[in-house]
């Protein structure tokens, strides 16, 4: 347990985890196999963003995605479907969570990190309203860029210009690649995100995402156009690594829907008296409060390796502030 009594920042949180923020023990030395097992069991065998994204991908593939043969040339029918496959889950998950947590206030302040409510009547935000601002940047900017990238990738896959795989051809690779997608996404995100924190790029581009110090479900991919152009390049890995459309769909939902959960502002979702799902991510919540820390995810500990890891402690806050000052002078 951490001693918060020496932390002047403690009072600013409504809730924060008792223990320092955890990182994937797969990279610990000496090896900690039991901890690794617990980490992956916690991520894959419960209702988490990973399992939700996998379920969405399977449903989308089984019921809505046109067959690859239909995507050999650009045609409005399948292209419209691909756009819907982005829009519909995004709207359902983000507005569902927003309604339950922030409008209906279904679990009150239970495991809500920030004390404050989302911002209204504030000129920092487009339309002077945080939620409308976030909805615009998500559905307008992010959904447009990601859809265009997906059109290209499906079209290239359909024409067999890149190697694809099927379950029957390579079942082991099929599962292994699925498992590595979150890691690839974490690696890509860390470097793109660090670049976006370059003071110039930050000021003109990434600041749109960071308008949200107190985050909500719609903040997840509320990004500037240029940020989205960079952020969604993660999908182009499927032009290099042999993939199946299901891999791309899982990657898509992991990149688009899981940030809704990680930005929800609540660590857990309660159903009745039990904690039904893991949602918020204190690791990234700290990034939104202190900016120059936790650029990656807890999946690959780049932040630890490069000295930008904030584990929630008072020392980490002091270090982060000193680093930020040095960046901007
Ligand atoms: Zn950032
Ligand atoms: Zn964020």
CA of 317 to the centre of ligand 1 (A): 16
Q: Coil, helix or strand for 67? A: coil
Residues 6+ away with beta carbon under 8 Å from 236 = 149, 153
- Residue 5 pLDDT: 64
pLDDT tens-digit series, residues 159-202: 999 999 999 999 999 999 999 999 999 999 999 999 999 999 99
pLDDT for residue 99 = 98
CA of 211 to the centre of ligand 2 (A): 10
Ligand with minimal distance to 284 CA: 2
- 111 and 117 in contact (C-beta within 8 Å)? no
Ligand 2 centroid to Cα of residue 161, in Å, is 35
186 Cα–ligand 2 center, Å: 13
Categorize the per-residue pLDDT at 3 as very low, low, confident or very high, splitting at 50, 70 and 90: low
113-141 mean pLDDT: 96
pLDDT of residue 4: 63
Judge whether residue 1 has pLDDT over 60: no
Distance 323 CA to ligand 1 centre (A): 15
Q: Is 274 helix (H, G, I), strand (E, B) or coil?
A: strand
Taking the alpha carbons at both ends of the chain, their separation in whole angstroms is 36
Kindly state the tokens that stand for 192: 């793109």
pLDDT of residue 78: 98
Q: How far apart are CA 280 and CA 295, in angstroms?
A: 16
The residue count of the chain comes to 329
Can you tell me the mean pLDDT for 89-109? 97
- Chain-centre distance of CA 218, in angstroms? 12
Task: Say how many Å lie between the CA of residue 247 and the centre of ligand 2.
Answer: 24
d(CA 74, CA 56) in angstroms, rounded, equals 25
- Please tell me the predicted confidence (pLDDT) of residue 112: 96
Strand-pair partners of 173: none
Q: Which ligand is nearest to the CA of 285?
A: 2
Does residue 10 register a pLDDT over 90? no
- Which pLDDT tens digit goes with each residue over 46-93? 778 899 999 999 999 999 999 999 999 999 999 999 999 999 999 999
Q: Which pLDDT band holds residue 41 (cuts at 50, 70, 90)?
A: confident
- For residue 2, pLDDT over 70 is answered with no
Q: How far is CA 135 from CA 116, 216, 261, 269, in A?
A: 20, 11, 15, 22
């Amino acid at each position: 347990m951490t001693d918060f009594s020496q932390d002047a920042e403690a009072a600013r949180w409504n809730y924060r985890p008792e223990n320092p923020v955890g990182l994937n023990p797969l990279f610990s030395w000496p090896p900690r196999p039991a901890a690794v097992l617990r980490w992956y069991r916690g991520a894959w065998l419960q209702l988490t963003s990973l399992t939700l994204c996998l379920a969405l991908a399977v449903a989308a593939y089984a019921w809505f995605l046109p067959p690859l043969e239909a995507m050999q040339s650009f045609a409005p029918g399948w292209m419209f479907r691909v756009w819907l496959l982005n829009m519909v889950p995004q709207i359902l998950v983000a507005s569902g969570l927003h309604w339950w947590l922030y409008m209906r206030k279904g679990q009150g302040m239970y495991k809500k990190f920030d004390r404050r409510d989302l911002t209204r009547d504030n000129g920092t935000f487009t339309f002077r309203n945080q939620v409308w601002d976030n909805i615009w940047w998500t559905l307008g900017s992010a959904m447009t860029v990601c859809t265009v990238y997906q059109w290209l990738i499906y079209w290239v896959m359909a024409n067999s210009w890149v190697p694809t795989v099927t379950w029957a051809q390579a079942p082991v690779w099929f599962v292994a690649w699925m498992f590595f997608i979150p890691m690839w996404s974490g690696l890509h995100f860390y470097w793109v995100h660090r670049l976006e924190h370059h003071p110039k790029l930050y000021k003109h581009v990434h600041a749109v995402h960071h308008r949200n110090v107190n985050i909500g479900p719609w903040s997840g991919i509320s990004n500037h156009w240029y940020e989205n152009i960079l952020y969604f390049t993660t999908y182009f890995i499927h032009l290099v690594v042999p993939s199946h459309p299901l891999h791309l769909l899982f990657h898509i939902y992991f990149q688009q829907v899981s940030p809704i959960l990680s930005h929800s502002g609540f660590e857990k979702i309660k159903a009745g008296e039990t904690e039904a799902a893991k949602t918020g991510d204190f690791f990234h919540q700290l990034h939104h409060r202190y900016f120059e820390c936790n650029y990656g995810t807890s999946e690959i500990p780049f932040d630890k390796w490069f000295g930008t890891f904030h584990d929630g402690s008072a020392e980490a806050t002091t270090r982060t502030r000193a680093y930020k000052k040095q960046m901007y002078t």
